[in-house]
Amino acid sequence: MKVLTNLADDELLRLMASKNEQAFTVLYQRRQRAVYRFALQMSGSPSVAEETTQEVFLILLHEGSGYDPARGPLASYLYGVARRLVWRRMAQDRTHVQIGEEEEDGRTPEQLIARSEVENDVARDQAVRSLRRAILALPAGYREAVVLCDLHELSYVEAARALGCAVGTVRSRLHRARALLAERLAAKRSNSSGCLV
Amino acid sequence: MNCTEFESVVADIARSVLMDGVSRREGLAHATGCERCGRRLANEPALGGLLAVAAAEVMGRTAPPAVEKALLPAFRESKSAGHPGRRAWWLGAAGAAVAALLVVSVVVRRPREPQIVKVPTLMPAPATQPTKIIAPVYRETRKPPARTLRAVHRKPAMPKPRSAEEVREVVTEFIPVIYDPEPVDHGRMVRVRLPRSALAAFGLPMNEQRAEETIQADVVLGEDGLARAVRFVK
C-alpha cells in the first residue's frame, strides 16, 4: 500500500485496470476530497456532493479508458466529470442552490456560536457565510471559476482544462465573478449595521 | 487604462498572479486616479481573505466513508465482468451498424422494379342497361418517402420537409378507363394532373366553380402504354 501511494495517477489507473483493488483505494483516497469539495461548493448540498463523488468514481471505474492522459491530468478529468454531474443535478433540482444557513456545513447554530465565542470572531463567520451564499447565488459558469481558481487554488490553465474552455474565458469569468461577489458583499455590509470584514 | 480594462486586471493584481508588468502598472495607476476603482482594489484583499477562509473551512471535508464502501463492491463487480465484455458489446454494436448500413446501401442502389398494380377487370355491360354510378370509396394511404441514395446521405442534414400527417393522401378506388376483355396483370402507375372536369367524366361529383383547377390522379398504364385505370388523389 505504501508503495502504491508513491505512484502517479496514471500508474494507479493502469493497476486498477489489472484488477488491483488497492490501487483503486489509493486513487480514491487521493482524489475524492477535491471532487467532494468541488461538488459541495458548487451545489451547497452535502447529499449532492456525496452522490456526485460516488458517480464520478463509478464513471472512472466503467469509463476509465475514456480518460486520455495526453489531454490533461486525471484531476482535471475528474473535475470535468464532477462538473457535468453537478450541472445535471442542478438542472434537475434547482432548490439545492438555495440552502439554509444551518445546512451549509452541517453545524447547528449552537455549535456556530460556540465556535465563534472561542475564536471571538463573529463578524468574520457571518462574512464567510454571506460569501458562501453569494458564491452559490452566482451564475454557474462564474461559480465554477471562483470555486476552482479561488477555493481550490487551481491555475487558469488547470481550471481551463477542467472546464474545457479557453484560459481567457476562465480569466474573464473569474474577474466578473469577483466583481459580483464584491458588489454583493458591499451591499450586505451597507444593509447591516456593523462592519463585517 | 479605463474602468472596464481595470476590471479585467484587478483580480490578478489583488491575487498577485503572474501578469504583464505594464498592465499591472497601468492598473495601479488607474486605481490611484479613479475613486471607484481604487475602492474596488482596496476591497479585493478583504474578498481574497474571505475566500481563503471559506476555502480553509471546507479543506478538511471529505466524502463520507459510505461512498467508498459503496464503490468497492462496484469495483469488484466491474472487474469480474471485465472490460472484454464491454469491448465485445461495442464491437457487436458496431458490426450491427455496419450491417445495417450495407443493407440500406444495397436497397438504395437496387433498380426499382415496376410497381405491380392490380387493375380490376372491366366486364362488358349490356348496352340497354344504364351505367350505375357508384360513389367512390375514399381511403387514406401513407405516401412512402422517396428512397434515393442522395436522400439517404443527406438525411441527417436535411430538415424534415413535411410531417407524416401532411403526406397523408385520400384516394378513390381505381376506375377503369377503357373496356379491356383481357385483364391487366401488370402495369405502371404514373401521377398526373388532370382538369377537375375529369371527375365529372367518371361520374364523380364536382364543384363547377372550381372546374378550371386541376386535380392529381394516378393513371395505370398497360404494357402497351395505354391508360387502363385511374384514381383521383386528394
Place of cell 470572531: A121
CATH of A1-98, one of 1.10.1740.10, 1.20.140.10, 2.60.40.3080, 3.40.50.620: 1.10.1740.10
What was the pLDDT predicted at A9? 86
The phi and psi torsions of B233 (rounded to 5 degrees) equal -120, 135
Do residue B63 and residue A21 have CB atoms under 8 angstroms apart?
A: no
Percent of chain A with pLDDT over 90: 16
pLDDT one-digit tens code per residue, A156-176: 889 998 898 898 899 889 988
Interchain CB distance below 8 Å, B57 and A152: no
Q: Which among B7, B18, B51 is the top mutation candidate for probing chain A, defined by the most A β-carbons within 10 Å of its own β-carbon? A: B51
Read off the pLDDT of residues B96-137 as tens digits, 9 standing for 90 and up.
777 777 777 666 666 555 555 555 555 555 555 555 555 565
Say whether B180 sits in a helix, a strand or coil: coil
**Cα distance from B41 to chain A (closest Cα, Å)?**
10
Upper half-sphere CA count for residue A174 (Cβ side, 13 Å): 34
What is the distance between the alpha carbons of residues A45 and A95, in angstroms, rounded to a whole number?
Answer: 10
If one compares A102 and B227, the residue with the highest pLDDT of the two is B227
The DSSP output letter for B135 is: P
Give the start-to-end residue ranges of the domains of chain A: 1-98
Shortest alpha-carbon distance between residue B100 and chain A (Å): 27
The partner residue sitting opposite A28, judged by closest CB among B51, B71, B83, is B71
Cell 461577489, residue? Answer: A181
> Do A14 and A65 touch, CB atoms closer than 8 A?
no
To probe the interface with A, which of B47, B77, B89 has the most A CB atoms within 10 Å? B47
Most confident listed range (A87-96, A181-190, B62-71): B62-71
**pLDDT of A103 above 50:** no
The mean pLDDT values, 10 residues at a time, for chain B of 234 residues are 81 76 83 84 83 85 87 78 52 68 66 56 54 58 63 56 63 79 74 85 80 86 82 87
Interface pTM, i.e. ipTM: 0.73
The CA distance from A177 to A141, in Å, is 9
pTM of the model: 0.55
Which pLDDT score, from 0 to 100, does residue B161 have? Answer: 57
pLDDT of residue A36 exceeding 90: yes
Phi first, then psi: give them for residue A146, nearest 5 degrees: -65, -45
Which of B62, B80, B86 best tests the A interface by mutation, with the highest count of A CBs <10 A? B62
At A194, the amino acid letter reads G
Distance between B79 CA and the closest CA of chain A, angstroms: 6
